[in-house]
Amino acid sequence: MFKIVHREELGQGTVILNEIEAPLIAKKAKPGQFVILKANETGERIPLTMADTNLEKGTITIVYMIIGRSTATFADLKVGDSFMDVIGPLGRPTHLEKVGKVVCVGGGTGVAVLHPITRALKEIGNDVTAITGARNKDLIILEDLMTKASNTLHICTDDGSYGHHGFVTDILKEKIENEDIKMVVAIGPVPMMRAVAEMTRPQGIHTLVSLNPIMVDGTGMCGCCRVSVGGETKFACVDGPEFDAHKVDFGELMLRLHSYTEMEKQSYAKFKGEK
């Protein structure tokens, strides 16, 4: 069993952090990789990126936004409770390289996914600027960790309640215009990743995104996670989840994420009713 040893509520309780005992996964995990979790016998298999790992304690950390039945079920688990199944590490690790100036852009819980990548890019000697965004001050997560993980951190809020008033792409634009940016990593909601991709495309700045299609097994046996990259079909769980942003068909990804919207609503309503 995979016991929760630490739990935090972030962003006014909209986002949950769980540190889970999983020594074998912690030993193997690299930045950019994810796990699949199932809370109980009747649960769904849900992919979440590892935001951190601790080798000595044998733990992994996940950070997730409560948006539906499964994440709400996860959020109800307390310290001492266990996930029934945790599988990983899955996916390819981020290809880490010393290139010079790097910008890491994160939105929503994408910041959690971005954290280990940002830290690793800095550790190998890149000059890393991190830009994170949220709708308002209360929804900002992992500010301390991101400050440590990067050389410079910029925070943006849509309503101006904290940091820069505006979008993460505003700051990114400034950076691109004034500095010799070699690489950009963007992780967050699909529209944000698409906007970043469009911004770096003209200069041909190498841009990585981490895609979040719906998954089942996470081992390449079902094809549920298909995404179109450079006109080819890829399975995000084994070929990704990171891809060259300039080649990704974001429109298709956005549509496919709505495959089960009606049933998801039904399932979440039932869950809330039972509580």
Ligand X SMILES: Cc1cc2nc3c(=O)[nH]c(=O)nc-3n(C[C@H](O)[C@H](O)[C@H](O)COP(=O)(O)OP(=O)(O)OC[C@H]3O[C@@H](n4cnc5c(N)ncnc54)[C@H](O)[C@@H]3O)c2cc1C
Chain positions contacting ligand FES, by CB under 6 A = 215-218, 220-225, 235, 237
Q: Is 272 in the site for other proteins (CB under 8 A)?
A: no
Most distant CA atoms of the chain, gap in Å: 55
Taking CB under 6 A as the criterion, the residue among 4, 112, 131, 248 binding ligand X is: 112
Applying the rule CB under 6 A, the residues between 207 and 236 that interact with ligand X are 212-215
132 touches ligand X (CB under 6 A): no
Amino acid at 132: T
Task: Using the rule CB under 8 A, give the single segment among 98-106, 158-166, 240-248, 263-271 that binds other proteins.
Answer: 263-271
d(CA 114, CA 110): 6
Q: Which is nearer to ligand X, 34 or 235 (CB)?
A: 34
202: Cα within 13 Å, side-chain hemisphere? 5
87, interface contact from ligand X, ligand FES, other proteins, none, CB < 5-8 Å by kind: other proteins
- Smallest distance from the beta carbon of 70 to ligand FES, in angstroms? 15
Total of residues contacting ligand X (CB under 6 A): 27
CA distances from 198 to 7, 98, 107, 207 (A): 37, 24, 16, 10
Compute φ and ψ for 167, nearest 5 degrees: -90, 160
Q: Which two tokens stand for residue 191?
A: 């529209």
Indicate whether 72 belongs to the interface with other proteins (CB under 8 A): no
Residue closer to ligand FES, measured from CB, 24 or 221: 221
Pick one of 18, 70, 109, 126: the residue that binds other proteins (CB under 8 A): 70
Residue 82: what residue type? S
219 scored as a contact of other proteins (CB under 8 A): yes
Report helix angle 190-200 to 168-178, nearest 10.
20
CA-CA distance, 108 to 239, in Å (whole number)? Answer: 24
The stretch near other proteins (CB under 8 A) out of 22-30, 59-67, 123-131, 190-198 is 22-30
Count of residues engaged in binding other proteins, rule: CB under 8 A: 41
CB of 70 to other proteins, least distance (A): 6
> How far apart are alpha carbons 1 and 83 in whole angstroms?
6
Q: Interacting stretch for other proteins, rule CB under 8 A, among 143-151, 155-163, 191-199, 262-270?
A: 262-270
> CA 156, 161, 166: angle at the middle one, nearest 5?
35
- Burial class, 228, CB count within 10 angstroms (exposed 0-12 / middle 13-18 / buried 19+): middle
109 binds, among other proteins, ligand FES, ligand X, none (CB under 5 to 8 A by kind): ligand X
Whether the Cβ atoms of residue 171 and residue 154 lie closer than 8 Å to each other: yes
Is 141 a residue that touches ligand X (CB under 6 A)? no
Q: Measure the CA–CA gap between 219 and 172, rounded to whole angstroms.
A: 34
Of the candidates 20, 26, 66, 87, which one interacts with other proteins according to CB under 8 A?
87
Structure tokens at 157: 């809020």
Give contact residues for ligand X (rule: CB under 6 A). 34, 44, 46-49, 63-65, 67-71, 109, 112-113, 212-215, 241, 257-258, 261, 264, 268
